[in-house]
A = this chain, B = another copy of it.
Amino acid sequence: MATLKVPPHPPSPTEDSEQLRKAFKGWGTNEALIISILGHRNAVQRKLIREAYNVTYGEDLLKDLDKELSSDFERVVLLWILDPAERDAYLANEATKKMTSDNWVILEIASTRSSLDLLKAKQAYQIRFKKSLEEDVAYHTSGDIRKLLVPLVSTFRYEGEEVNMTLAKSEAKVLHGKISGKTYNDEDLIRILTTRSRAQLSATLNHYKDEFGNAINKDLKTDPKDAYLKLLRAAIKCLTFPEKYFAKVLRLAINKLGTDECALTRVVATRAEVDLQRVGEEYQRRNSVPLDRAIANDTSGDYKSFLLALAGHEK
């Protein structure tokens, strides 16, 4: 469930774009006005506002926001205003670049989006960067991490609920065999995780637990610091329980000395219209603090106000 709150009768996109223009004019920027508008419009509405702004003023709203805002507040507003597919394309591209490389972001986008949303992100990637996400991920990774990430971003996964129990049992056995033998980069293990539907994979992992005693991620924790194993466990969590995965990313971001704004911004901006409500529930279950209070305690100013607006929590 989304946390974003949209008024029942919002102003027209033209009115919104006029208000935004006003917020930029005069002495200093009116951040509160920007937050009150953009923090309460869904993806379709934001797109229409961008279009209305462009028609009325002949300028790109994104560029004007870029000029007016700064630091963390700027980043969250700019990410938020993008269409979800464009935003994923932008984040994924950033994550394949040398200076900002981040395999976690690639893993997260590849494993938590629906097949259609991942496809749209790949199309947006091609339109914007004139190359494919697959080639960039393959080029910028290597070794076991490449073996895992490339099929994760490539597969157009089946999304039906059908489960083949015979297959689930036989593949649970395959997984257990490989993990017992510590061949974590085995190609069958990677094949199962990267190509099976979420429903089929869940059946396989449930059978794994029933039959062999441990949750698979427990068996994959032999070396807690190994980067490949960390990604492997995260992929499994993303595919089978994404809300719990996101709650953990938020926990690590917030508990970090000095807050990881990059991760906090990403999760709030990408999930506010999807499942941030459920993510918040998982967060509270694990941390005994409501997510919005944790965010409020760890951030400040306009950045804080905007995150809280997206998280559905008004002052």
Interface residues of A, Cβ cutoff 8 Å to B = 119, 122-123, 126, 130-135, 138-139, 146-147, 150-151, 154-160, 162, 187, 191, 194-197, 200
B154 touches A122 (CB 8 A): no
A155 touches B156 (CB 8 A): no
A191 touches B139 (CB 8 A): yes
A132 touches B187 (CB 8 A): no
Interface secondary structure of A, over-half rule = helix
CB within 8 Å for A156 and B119 given contacts A139-B191, A187-B146: yes
Q: Could you list 9 A-B pairs, sorted by A, with CB under 8 Å?
A: A123-B156, A130-B160, A132-B155, A132-B156, A134-B151, A134-B154, A134-B155, A138-B191, A154-B155
**Smallest CB-CB A-B distances: 7 pairs:** A154-B154, A135-B195, A132-B158, A138-B191, A134-B155, A134-B195, A138-B195
How many copies, total? 2
By a CB distance below 8 angstroms, the chain B residues around A197 are 131-132, 135
By a CB distance below 8 angstroms, the chain B residues around A138 are 191, 194-195
Cβ of A66 to closest chain B Cβ, rounded Å: 26
A146 (CB) vs chain B CBs: closest residue? B187
CB within 8 Å for A158 and B130 given contacts A150-B191, A187-B146: yes
Cβ of A171 to closest chain B Cβ, rounded Å: 9
